[in-house]
């Protein structure tokens, strides 16, 4: 089952240009079985998602991209609309209480600094990034960052023994499905999604 775990739509995510109805059509066109709506600090209501998915054959799951003081975190299984910046620890505590699942989103976006010479974060420094101690997984493939930044995430994932997930982080319709999570089992609802992510019963794929 092919699912894009990281998608933003307009107007709920002001940085996106994707119309939700067009999103469903594109998902069918490129052979996705489902996608996750992970707006910035905005949680879709269950009824809205059901209406959007109705009759399409596409599974739509609710998630959220939460801004924490330590970095952005994708969350699933948290039925709470969090506003404002909180700490990664506080978000982790709320997720533990709800049985949800969290992913450090694009954790090494912009890890290089260019100026006088070039400063580059080492693998050892990257592994100490604070958000990583408060999440269940790390996003090792993101369609909005460079391959170098994704590779750093993959190296950290291997070094720390953390589960690695992927998602397009689509803000434009043509970006949908650039990184896809391929689940071994059918995922029917958000409970299944959390369970399969936690069990690691998936592989990752690049390209539409």
**The predicted structure's pLDDT at residue 116:** 41
From residue 112, alpha-carbon distances to 117, 146, 152, 172 in Å are 11, 11, 11, 25
Burial class (CB in 10 A: 0-12, 13-18, 19+), 57: exposed
Residue 21 makes CB contacts below 8 A (sequence gap 6+) with: 52
**The predicted structure's pLDDT at residue 113:** 47
pLDDT cut 70: percent of the chain above it: 96
**The predicted structure's pLDDT at residue 81:** 85
- Backbone φ/ψ region at 132: left (φ over 0), alpha (ψ -120 to 50), beta: alpha
Q: What is the pLDDT of residues 80-127, one digit of tens each?
A: 888 888 999 999 999 999 999 999 999 999 875 444 444 578 899 999
Domains of the chain: 2-206 (3.20.20.140)
Q: What is the pLDDT of residues 179-198, one digit of tens each?
A: 999 999 999 999 999 999 99
**What band does 207 get if pLDDT is binned at 50, 70 and 90?**
confident
Average pLDDT, the chain: 94
CA distance 172 to 65: 17
**The predicted structure's pLDDT at residue 114:** 46
Burial code (b: 16+ CB inside 10 Å, e: under 16) for 13-47 equals: beebebebeebbebbeeeebbbbbbbbeebbbeee
pLDDT cut 90: percent of the chain above it: 90
Sheet containing 59-68: which strands, arranged edge to edge? 163-167, 137-142, 101-104, 71-76, 59-68, 34-37, 2-7, 179-183, 202-206
Averaged pLDDT, 144-165: 96
According to DSSP, residue 152 is labeled H
Q: What is the CA radius of gyration of the chain?
A: 16
**The predicted structure's pLDDT at residue 117:** 43
Contact predicate 164/68, CB 8 Å: no
CA distance 95 to 161: 21
> Smallest Cα–Cα separation from 7: which of 146, 181, 153?
181
């Amino acid at each position: 089952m092919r699912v894009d775990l990281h998608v933003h739509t307009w107007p709920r995510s002001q940085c996106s240009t994707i119309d939700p109805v067009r999103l469903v059509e594109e998902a069918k066109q490129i052979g996705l079985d489902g996608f996750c709506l992970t707006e910035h600090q905005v949680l879709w209501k269950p009824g809205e998602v059901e209406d959007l998915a109705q009759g399409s054959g596409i599974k739509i799951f609710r998630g959220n991209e939460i801004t924490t003081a330590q970095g952005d975190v994708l969350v699933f299984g948290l039925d709470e609309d969090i506003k404002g910046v909180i700490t990664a620890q506080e978000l982790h505590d709320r997720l533990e209480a709800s049985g949800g699942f969290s992913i450090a989103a694009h954790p090494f976006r912009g890890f290089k600094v260019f100026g006088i010479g070039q400063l580059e974060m080492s693998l050892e420094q990257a592994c100490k990034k604070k958000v990583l101690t408060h999440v269940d997984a790390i996003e090792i493939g993101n369609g909005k960052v460079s391959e170098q930044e994704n590779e750093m995430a993959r190296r950290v994932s291997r070094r720390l023994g953390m589960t690695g997930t992927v998602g397009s982080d689509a803000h434009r319709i043509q970006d949908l499905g650039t990184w896809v999570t391929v689940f071994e089992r059918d995922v029917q609802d958000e409970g299944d999604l959390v369970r399969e992510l936690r069990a690691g019963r998936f592989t990752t794929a690049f390209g539409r």
